[in-house]
Protein backbone atom coordinates (compact mmCIF):
# COMPACT_ATOMS: atom_id res chain seq x y z
CA UNK A 1 0.00 0.00 0.00
CA UNK A 2 3.05 2.25 0.29
CA UNK A 3 3.07 5.29 -0.25
CA UNK A 4 -0.65 5.30 0.57
CA UNK A 5 -1.81 5.39 4.20
CA UNK A 6 -5.22 4.25 5.41
CA UNK A 7 -6.16 5.65 8.81
CA UNK A 8 -9.25 5.46 11.01
CA UNK A 9 -9.58 8.94 12.55
CA UNK A 10 -12.78 7.91 14.34
CA UNK A 11 -14.51 4.55 14.71
CA UNK A 12 -15.85 3.36 11.36
CA UNK A 13 -14.58 6.40 9.43
CA UNK A 14 -11.54 6.00 7.22
CA UNK A 15 -9.21 8.29 5.32
CA UNK A 16 -6.87 7.25 2.53
CA UNK A 17 -3.91 9.61 2.33
CA UNK A 18 -0.96 10.26 0.04
CA UNK A 19 1.57 12.99 0.74
CA UNK A 20 1.95 14.73 -2.61
CA UNK A 21 5.46 15.16 -3.89
CA UNK A 22 6.74 11.97 -2.24
CA UNK A 23 6.19 9.34 -4.91
CA UNK A 24 8.65 7.58 -7.19
CA UNK A 25 6.89 9.09 -10.22
CA UNK A 26 6.90 12.78 -9.28
CA UNK A 27 9.57 13.64 -11.88
CA UNK A 28 7.65 11.74 -14.56
CA UNK A 29 4.45 13.61 -13.68
CA UNK A 30 6.28 16.95 -13.91
CA UNK A 31 7.82 15.88 -17.21
CA UNK A 32 4.32 15.23 -18.54
CA UNK A 33 3.38 18.83 -17.73
CA UNK A 34 1.54 18.25 -14.47
CA UNK A 35 2.16 19.08 -10.85
CA UNK A 36 2.24 16.00 -8.57
CA UNK A 37 -0.07 17.57 -6.00
CA UNK A 38 -3.15 16.27 -4.22
CA UNK A 39 -5.47 17.48 -6.95
CA UNK A 40 -3.52 15.62 -9.63
CA UNK A 41 -3.74 12.44 -7.55
CA UNK A 42 -7.50 12.94 -7.19
CA UNK A 43 -7.63 12.88 -10.99
CA UNK A 44 -5.63 9.65 -11.00
CA UNK A 45 -8.11 8.15 -8.52
CA UNK A 46 -11.09 9.29 -10.60
CA UNK A 47 -9.55 7.78 -13.75
CA UNK A 48 -8.82 4.50 -12.02
CA UNK A 49 -12.36 4.26 -10.68
CA UNK A 50 -14.03 5.21 -13.96
CA UNK A 51 -11.90 3.01 -16.21
CA UNK A 52 -10.88 0.04 -14.06
CA UNK A 53 -13.07 -0.14 -10.99
CA UNK A 54 -16.52 1.31 -11.64
CA UNK A 55 -17.89 -0.71 -8.72
CA UNK A 56 -16.03 1.73 -6.44
CA UNK A 57 -17.97 4.73 -7.78
CA UNK A 58 -19.81 6.56 -5.01
CA UNK A 59 -18.37 4.44 -2.19
CA UNK A 60 -16.12 7.24 -0.88
CA UNK A 61 -15.53 10.98 -1.31
CA UNK A 62 -12.48 13.05 -2.18
CA UNK A 63 -10.97 15.97 -0.27
CA UNK A 64 -7.51 16.71 -1.71
CA UNK A 65 -5.29 19.68 -0.94
CA UNK A 66 -2.18 20.92 -2.69
CA UNK A 67 0.10 18.87 -0.46
CA UNK A 68 -2.05 15.81 0.08
CA UNK A 69 -4.48 13.47 -1.64
CA UNK A 70 -7.36 12.33 0.56
CA UNK A 71 -10.30 10.02 -0.05
CA UNK A 72 -12.58 9.24 2.86
CA UNK A 73 -15.66 7.32 3.86
CA UNK A 74 -16.99 4.42 5.87
CA UNK A 75 -16.27 1.69 3.31
CA UNK A 76 -12.84 0.43 4.32
CA UNK A 77 -12.83 -2.28 1.64
CA UNK A 78 -13.41 0.26 -1.14
CA UNK A 79 -10.65 2.52 0.17
CA UNK A 80 -8.25 -0.43 0.43
CA UNK A 81 -9.02 -1.33 -3.18
CA UNK A 82 -8.32 2.25 -4.27
CA UNK A 83 -5.13 2.28 -2.18
CA UNK A 84 -3.80 -0.80 -3.92
CA UNK A 85 -4.57 0.63 -7.35
CA UNK A 86 -3.02 4.00 -6.58
CA UNK A 87 0.07 2.51 -4.93
CA UNK A 88 0.74 0.56 -8.12
CA UNK A 89 0.55 3.76 -10.16
CA UNK A 90 2.65 5.78 -7.69
CA UNK A 91 5.59 3.43 -8.19
CA UNK A 92 5.41 2.77 -11.94
CA UNK A 93 6.54 5.44 -14.42
CA UNK A 94 5.06 3.53 -17.37
CA UNK A 95 1.70 3.25 -15.65
CA UNK A 96 1.50 6.97 -14.86
CA UNK A 97 2.38 7.79 -18.48
CA UNK A 98 -0.36 5.41 -19.62
CA UNK A 99 -2.95 7.08 -17.38
CA UNK A 100 -2.01 10.60 -18.50
CA UNK A 101 -2.31 9.47 -22.14
CA UNK A 102 -5.67 7.86 -21.39
CA UNK A 103 -6.83 11.11 -19.81
CA UNK A 104 -5.79 13.08 -22.92
CA UNK A 105 -7.52 10.62 -25.23
CA UNK A 106 -10.75 10.86 -23.22
CA UNK A 107 -10.69 14.64 -22.78
CA UNK A 108 -10.14 14.32 -19.02
CA UNK A 109 -8.32 17.27 -17.48
CA UNK A 110 -6.36 17.02 -14.27
CA UNK A 111 -7.09 19.85 -11.82
CA UNK A 112 -3.48 20.35 -10.83
Q: Where along the chain do its domains lie? A: 5-106
Alpha helices, DSSP H, located in 1-112? 26-31, 38-52, 76-90, 93-106
CA distance 75 to 55: 12
Exposure on the CB side of residue 88, measured as CA atoms within 13 A: 10
CA distance 41 to 22: 12
Do the strands 13-19 and 61-62 form a parallel or antiparallel pair, or are they unpaired? unpaired
Asked whether residue 88 carries a pLDDT value surpassing 90, the answer given is: yes
- Which one, of 16, 38, 22, 61, lies nearest residue 110 by Cα? 38
Q: What's the whole-model pTM score?
A: 0.95
Task: Assign domain 5-106 to its CATH architecture.
Answer: 2-Layer Sandwich (3.30)
pLDDT, tens digit, 9 for 90 and up, residues 41-72: 999 999 999 999 999 999 999 999 999 999 99
Average pLDDT (72-81) is 98
Q: What percentage of the chain exceeds 90 in pLDDT?
A: 95
**Measured CA distances, 70 to 44, 93, 97 (Å):** 12, 22, 22
Distance between first and last Cα of the chain? 23
Amino acid sequence: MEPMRLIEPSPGKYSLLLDAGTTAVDDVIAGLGHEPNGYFWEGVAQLLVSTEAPALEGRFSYDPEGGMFCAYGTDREALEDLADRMAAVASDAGRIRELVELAKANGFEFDD
